[in-house]
């Protein structure tokens, strides 16, 4: 009810704002150490709305490893609206610099990336963007780290994007997204776009997300402990040919991860002898690790990105190895998880 024409009590229409969404947005902003957060119906809704900041003819430099859905949105949808994309290895700042053009308006990165767990230097990339006369916006998809492990705005990024479906929600029972920022003008534009495009979360989803956030720190600590133990076990296993985990000394950006992250998170990728066929036998024989898409929940999941989450990058420069296995290591007992993998690898 409004007191008078145009005089509402803070909430006039539930797409524009809702008290439970406001509570969630305030909590998300505080977790990222930011001034503003905006909630969305999914991670993809948050990403799509962020891209409305751009216009025809604008160019985006993006990392050469990313969630398949992001790549699909960029190359199969937004490219039809006159946006141009260059995917490059952002671990190399020279290459990143070389990819920038006079019409580059955005640098888009995930770190750690999905599914190859590359670590990009957020502060270095932000410094590069700041030197450009066109000052491209630096956007970090912080889904894999969560704000407990990494705060990109403090490292110089302009926008943080989350699929809150993952670690922030934490229980695989809600789909959501968020965009988080300090800049007042970006907030004004994105709040307008949030309402204008309307991809907002319902209050019940906002409430579930808020409930998940209360245990974020506890969960992330346990995910990290378990993932490191699992990664070390895999590294020593004779059938495993490659383990990718930023917490291992063998990870090419291990030092950078130590610098910009509190801990290394719950995602581990690996390959086994025998390629895709052998990998398929592993992912279909675990009992605790459930064969499933998604990640970041309390329960452990296993999948093969090339055939599942990253089908949309098949045949593209972002194609992932056919036999790659991705684990979302949950918060169960460490020894149970290791025994489950040992059993599946022994088959
Ligand atoms: N960003 C990353 C890194 C993801 O892994 C995902 C989904 O897996 C998304 C964005 C998209 O989020 P949602 O599934 O909530 O739309």
The b/e string for 149-168 (b: 16+ C-beta within 10 A; e otherwise) is bbbbbebbbbbbbbbbbbbb
Q: Which atom in ligand 1 lies closest to the alpha carbon of residue 295?
A: 8
pLDDT given for residue 291 in this prediction: 98
> What is the number of the ligand 1 atom nearest to the C-alpha of 294?
8
**Which residue has tokens 């990105």?**
305
The pair of structure tokens assigned to 129 is 């963007």
CA 82 to CA 44: how far, in whole Å? 19
Q: Would you call 166 a catalytic residue per the annotation?
A: yes
pLDDT in tens, 302-330: 999 999 999 989 999 899 999 999 999 99
10-residue mean pLDDT series, the chain (347 residues): 93 96 98 98 98 98 95 97 98 97 98 97 98 96 98 98 98 98 98 98 98 98 98 98 98 98 98 97 98 97 96 91 98 98 96
Active site residue 340: no
Active site residue 141: yes
Q: Is 104 in the pocket of ligand 1 (CB under 6 A)?
A: no
User: Quick one: which atom of ligand 1 is closest to the CA of 110?
Assistant: 3
**Radius of gyration, CA atoms only, the chain:** 20
- What is the Å distance from ligand 1's center to 84 Cα? 21
Nearest CA to ligand 1 atom 14: 43
Does the Cβ of 303 fall within 6 Å of ligand 1? no
Q: Is 110 in the pocket of ligand 1 (CB under 6 A)?
A: yes
- Give the distance (Å) from ligand 1 centre to CA of residue 170: 13
Which of 166, 169, 296 to probe ligand 1 with, by most ligand atoms within 8 A of CB?
Answer: 166
Q: Which atom of ligand 1 is nearest to the CA of 44?
A: 16
Q: Does the annotation mark 9 as catalytic? A: no
**Would the CB of 63 count as within 6 Å of ligand 1?**
no
Mutate-to-test residue for ligand 1 from 43, 114, 118, 313, highest number of ligand atoms within 8 A of CB: 43
Which residues make beta-bridge pairs with 60?
85, 106
Distance CA 33, CA 181 (A): 9
d(CA 327, CA 279): 12
Domain annotation for the chain: domains and CATH numbers: 19-213 (3.40.640.10), 216-345 (3.90.1150.10)
C-alpha of residue 145 to centroid of ligand 1, in Å: 13
13-51 pLDDT, tens per residue?
999 999 999 999 999 999 999 999 999 999 999 999 999
Give residue 347's pLDDT: 84
Judge whether 157 and 138 are in contact, CB under 8 Å: yes
Q: Where does residue 328 rank: exposed (0-12), middle (13-18), buried (19+ CB within 10 A)?
A: buried
């Amino acid at each position: 009810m409004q007191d008078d024409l145009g005089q509402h009590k803070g909430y006039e229409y539930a797409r524009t704002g809702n008290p439970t969404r406001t509570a969630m947005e305030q909590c998300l902003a505080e977790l990222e150490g930011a001034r503003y957060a905006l909630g969305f119906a999914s991670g993809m809704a948050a990403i799509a709305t962020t891209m409305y900041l751009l216009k025809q003819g604008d160019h985006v430099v993006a990392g050469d490893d990313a969630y398949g859905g992001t790549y699909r949105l960029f190359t199969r949808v937004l490219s039809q609206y006159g946006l141009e994309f260059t995917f490059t290895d952002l671990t190399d700042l020279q290459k990143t610099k070389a990819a920038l053009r006079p019409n580059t308006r955005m640098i888009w990165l995930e770190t750690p990336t999905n599914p190859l767990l590359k670590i990009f230097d957020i502060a270095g990339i932000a410094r590069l963007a700041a030197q450009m006369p066109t000052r491209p916006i630096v956007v970090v998809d912080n889904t894999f780290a969560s704000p407990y492990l990494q705060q990109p705005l403090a490292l110089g990024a302009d926008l943080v994007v989350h699929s809150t479906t993952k670690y922030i929600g934490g229980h695989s029972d809600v789909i959501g997204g968020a965009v988080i920022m300090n800049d007042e003008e970006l907030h004004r534009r994105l709040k307008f776009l949030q309402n204008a495009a309307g991809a907002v979360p319902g209050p019940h989803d906002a409430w579930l997300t808020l409930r998940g956030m209360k245990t974020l720190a506890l969960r992330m600590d346990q995910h990290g402990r378990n993932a490191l133990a699992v990664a070390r076990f895999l590294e020593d296993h004779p059938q495993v040919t490659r383990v990718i985990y930023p917490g291992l000394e063998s990870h090419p950006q291990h030092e950078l991860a130590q610098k910009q992250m509190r801990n290394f998170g719950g995602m581990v990728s690996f390959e086994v002898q025998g390629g895709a066929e052998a990998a398929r036998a592993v992912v279909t024989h675990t009992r605790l690790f459930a064969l499933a898409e998604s990640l970041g929940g309390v329960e452990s999941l296993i999948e093969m990105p090339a055939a599942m989450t990253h089908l949309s990058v098949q045949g593209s420069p972002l194609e992932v190895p056919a036999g790659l296995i991705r684990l979302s290591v949950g918060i169960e007992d460490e020894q149970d998880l290791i025994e489950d993998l040992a059993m599946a690898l022994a088959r």
